[in-house]
Structure 1
């Protein structure tokens, strides 16, 4: 594989693949000591250290101490690698034991999900990919079946599932993106200096919440409480 081939596709890997496609292809028989699991572990290490912009197939091959053609026997593109990495991150989200309290079960799952994404700050921005990996699907199955136990069906169940998932992803994405950027104190000063223009934001200390964990937990409780109150309209 020459340098031109390694740069093809604009994202550090070969062209010709699409996000999610790795889950629709059977894994090739092994012809060396390399495995998808080893590739995934190495990719997550690089992603945790440097983020998605710096992950290339060449760097991944170097970390695994293999030639790029060996890597391409197991994964076709960088999209394959990202899909495998995201699904592996989901495996860290422990599925709760089922209880009689469907709302508490859903809350427990998404609290763990957000915490896991914050441990891998690159991951929230990739959740918009086709999520067909076994770990993703197992946790999505738990979430939707839990909301179904709360009485939701059909379009209402789909809306509740997407709503709670998007709340979780959005919270993690905002926090992981904000981290290391503009201090929240600067945002607070800007809003307070323009309190006449933004009176509600200033009075309620928008963007100045001291405990992001507690803020997210309250948001989830509010969302789930709304589902319980609105169940008669489903």
Structure 2
């Protein structure tokens, strides 16, 4: 049974793909324009009509190259995932995972609509699969068993996606650095005035005084905490030594 035209991921699952009948446009031009439109308007502001206007083409002409909006979203998402560079060969697992996580954050901040899509559709495009293969291979090289590799991938991607989604929303809402700094200062002061009721939250005021509350610093520290947890599994219960379970009858 073939994948439906309005189904997320369907563009990757339909046998033979959708071949255009004429070359007035190209799929590449459509995808490039779609990325630009998504960067400008986000997913809520995306439509085939707006995409056609950006291309100065008729809306129906787009359907010679794609089956619909879902195809375009899948193709645009895979295009920007192609911006993730591979790590150098023989890079240690932690350095490889750290680099890919940091690059993923940069790509998602450059294209703030990406977090809204990566968690809601199958990532089956060639760039997505290549990036996923590299990520899984780096963690599989640790010797962890399959269940822990899968869980480790979920832990890292969940951390990165969630962090960047919150960061992107905050940056979109607070574009003026001076106004943002003033807001943060008032937040810390509000908490400081209530230190008796919320003594543990005082750490944020202390971190702010040290200049350690910026997104970059907190992202790196949080990622290290996640990776420390993965490292603790290596050589222990999650190692390849127990991959096949106990021997004997």
Q: TM (normalized to structure 1)? A: 0.86
Query: How many residues are paired up?
Result: 220
Q: Which residue is equivalent to 1:5?
A: none
Q: Does 1:36 align with 2:27?
A: yes
Q: Which residue is equivalent to 1:196?
A: 196
- Structure 1 CA distance for aligned equivalents of residues 146 and 18 of structure 2: 38
- Structure 2 CA distance for aligned equivalents of residues 115 and 207 of structure 1: 24
- Structure 1 CA distance for aligned equivalents of residues 96 and 7 of structure 2: 34
Alignment of 1:61-100 (within 5 A): 61-100=52-91
- Structure 2 CA distance for aligned equivalents of residues 17 and 123 of structure 1: 19
1:40 is displaced (CA, Å) by 0.8
Alignment of 1:52-201 (within 5 A): 52-128=43-119, 129-181=121-173, 183=180, 185=184, 186-201=186-201
Paired residue for 1:50, among 26, 37, 41? 41
Kindly indicate whether the alpha-carbon contact (under 8 Å) linking 1:99 and 1:105 is maintained by their aligned counterparts in 2.
no
Uncovered stretches (5+) of structure 2, i.e. residues with no partner: 175-179, 239-249
1:196 is displaced (CA, Å) by 3.4
Question: Quick one: structure 1 residues 181 and 149, their matched pair in 2 at CA, closer, same or farther if it must change by over 3 Å?
Answer: same
Kindly indicate whether the alpha-carbon contact (under 8 Å) linking 1:90 and 1:136 is maintained by their aligned counterparts in 2.
yes
- Structure 2 CA distance for aligned equivalents of residues 106 and 121 of structure 1: 21
**3-state SS of 2:201 partner:** helix
- Structure 1 CA distance for aligned equivalents of residues 232 and 172 of structure 2: 39
**3-state SS of 1:200 partner:** coil
Q: TM (normalized to structure 2)? A: 0.81
Question: Quick one: structure 1 residues 224 and 16, their matched pair in 2 at CA, closer, same or farther if it must change by over 3 Å?
Answer: same
**3-state SS of 1:97 partner:** coil
Kindly indicate whether the alpha-carbon contact (under 8 Å) linking 2:5 and 2:71 is maintained by their aligned counterparts in 1.
no
Instruction: Output one character per residue of 1:151-204: Cα deviation in whole Å (capped at 9) or x when no partner.
Output: 212211100011111111111111101113264515434433443343222224
